[in-house]
A and B are shown apart, each in its own frame.
Chain A
Amino acid sequence: MENKQLMMGNEAIARGLVESGCAMATSYPGTPASEILSSVAALEREFRTGMHVQWAVNEKVALEIAYAGCQAGLRTAVSMKQVGLNVALDPLMSAAYMGTKGGFIVISADDPGPHSSQTEQDSRLMAMAARIPVLDPDSPRQAREMIEPAFRISEAFGIPVMLRPTTRVCHARQDVASGVIVDLKRRPAFEKDPARWAATPKFRLKLHGDLERKLSEIAAHAPTAPVKLNAGPKRRARAVVASGVAAAHLKEIASDPDLTDRFDLYQVLQPFPLHAEFIEEMGRYDAVLVIEETEPVIEMQLADRNRVQGKLFGPVPRVGELLPEGIESIVKGFCKMPSNLRTAPAGGRRPTLCAGCPHRASFFAIRKAAPRGIYTGDIGCYTLGLNLGAVDTVLCMGAAISQAAGFYHAYKHTEKPPDIVAAIGDSTFFHAGVPALIDAKVQNAGFVLMILDNRTTAMTGGQPTPAASFGATGNPLSPVAIEPLVNGCGVEFCRTVDPYQVNETIEALKQALEFCRTRGPAVVVARRSCLLERGPEAKAERIGIPVIVSDACDGCGYCIKHFECPALVMSGNRVSIDPAVCTQCGVCLNVCPKNCICPA
Chain B
Amino acid sequence: MSAVPRSAMADPIPAGAGVGLKPEHYQHILKTRPAIGWFEVHAENYMEAGGPPHHYLSAIRSMYPLSVHGVGMSIGADEELDQLHLARLKAVCDCYQPGLVSEHLAWSTHEGTFFNDLLPVPYNCQTLQRVCSHVDQIQSTLKRQILLENPSTYVVFDASEMSEVDFIKQISERTGCGLLLDVNNVFVSATNHGFDPVAYIDEFPIERVGEIHLGGHSVDADDTGRTLLIDSHGTQVVDPVWELFRHVVRRTGRCPVLIEWDNDVPEWESLHMEAIRAEAILHREGARHAVA
A and B physically associate: no
A residues at B contact (CB < 8 Å): none
B residues at A contact (CB < 8 Å): none
